[in-house]
Structure 1
Amino acid sequence: MLTACAAAPMPGNSAAANESSVPPVSSPGPASLADSVPVGRPAPNVSAMAAAALAELGRLPVKGSAPMTGYRRSAFGRAWSDDVSVDKGRNGCRTRDDVLQRDLTDIEMRGRCTVLSGWLDDPYTAQRLRFERGVDVKRIQIDHVVALADAWRTGAQQHSPQRRVEFANDLRNLQATAGWANQQKGSSNAASWLPPNRSFRCTYVARQIQVKRAYDLWVVPPERDAMRRVLTKCVG
Structure 2
Amino acid sequence: MTVSWRAYRSARRRSRQAWVLLAVLTLAAAGSAGWFFTAGQFAAAEPAIAGPSEAPVFDGTWMKPVVPVHTVPQGSALDALEGLPVKGRAPKDNYQREAFGQAWLDVDRNGCDTRNDILRRDLTAVGFTEGSKCRVASGAIQEPYTGKAVEFRRGAESSKEIQIDHVVALGDAWQKGAQGLNSQQRQSLANDPLNLIAADGPANQQKSASDAATWLPKNKNFRCHYVARQISVKASYELWVTQPEKDAMKRVLDSCPDQPTISAR
Query: Same fold, TM exceeding 0.5?
Result: yes
Structure 2 residue 119 is the aligned partner of structure 1 residue 95: no
| Partners of 1:180 and 1:10 in 2: CA distance | 27
What's the secondary structure of 2:253's corresponding residue?
Answer: helix
Greater shift, 132-141 or 215-224, is seen at 132-141
Given candidates 224, 230, 244, the residue that maps to 1:202 is 224
Given candidates 65, 69, 82, the residue that maps to 2:89 is 65
Greater shift, 104-113 or 7-16, is seen at 7-16
| Partners of 1:81 and 1:220 in 2: CA distance | 30
- Partner of 1:181 in structure 2? 203
Q: How far apart are residue 138 of structure 1 and its match?
A: 1.5
Q: How far apart are residue 9 of structure 1 and its match?
A: 6.2
**Corresponding letter in the other structure for 1:213:** A
Q: How far apart are residue 8 of structure 1 and its match?
A: 11
Deviation track 1:145-203 (CA, whole Å, cap 9, x = no partner) reads 00000000000011111111110000000000110000000000000000000000000
Stretches of structure 2 lacking an aligned partner (at least 5 in a row): 1-55, 259-265
Greater shift, 57-66 or 129-138, is seen at 129-138
Structure 2 residue 148 is the aligned partner of structure 1 residue 127: yes
| Partners of 1:14 and 1:95 in 2: CA distance | 11
- Partner of 1:107 in structure 2? 126
* CA gap 1:78/1:14 in 2 versus in 1, 3 angstroms: closer
Equivalences, count = 193
Q: How far apart are residue 69 of structure 1 and its match?
A: 3.0
| Partners of 1:68 and 1:142 in 2: CA distance | 22
Q: TM (normalized to structure 1)?
A: 0.77
Given candidates 173, 176, 186, the residue that maps to 1:154 is 176
Instruction: After the TM superposition, list the runs of 4 or more consecutive aligned residues in structure 1 that deviate by more than 6 angstroms.
Output: none
Please give the root-mean-square deviation of Cα atoms over the aligned residues, in Å: 2.0
- Partner of 2:80 in structure 1? 56
- Partner of 1:225 in structure 2? 247
Q: Give identity over the alignment, percent.
A: 53
Bigger helix fraction: 2
C-alpha contact (below 8 Å) 1:104/1:118 kept by paired residues: yes
**Corresponding letter in the other structure for 1:177:** A
Q: How far apart are residue 235 of structure 1 and its match?
A: 2.4
Deviation track 1:121-157 (CA, whole Å, cap 9, x = no partner) reads 1111100101111151221101000000000000001
Structure 2 residue 215 is the aligned partner of structure 1 residue 193: yes
Greater shift, 62-71 or 219-228, is seen at 62-71
| Partners of 2:98 and 2:214 in 1: CA distance | 25
**Corresponding letter in the other structure for 1:62:** V
| Partners of 2:189 and 2:57 in 1: CA distance | 23
- Partner of 2:40 in structure 1? none
Q: How far apart are residue 218 of structure 1 and its match?
A: 0.4
C-alpha contact (below 8 Å) 1:116/1:133 kept by paired residues: yes
| Partners of 1:172 and 1:233 in 2: CA distance | 23
Q: TM (normalized to structure 2)?
A: 0.69
C-alpha contact (below 8 Å) 1:116/1:132 kept by paired residues: yes
| Partners of 1:128 and 1:104 in 2: CA distance | 11
- Partner of 1:32 in structure 2? 74
Deviation track 1:42-62 (CA, whole Å, cap 9, x = no partner) reads xxxxxxxxxx00010000011
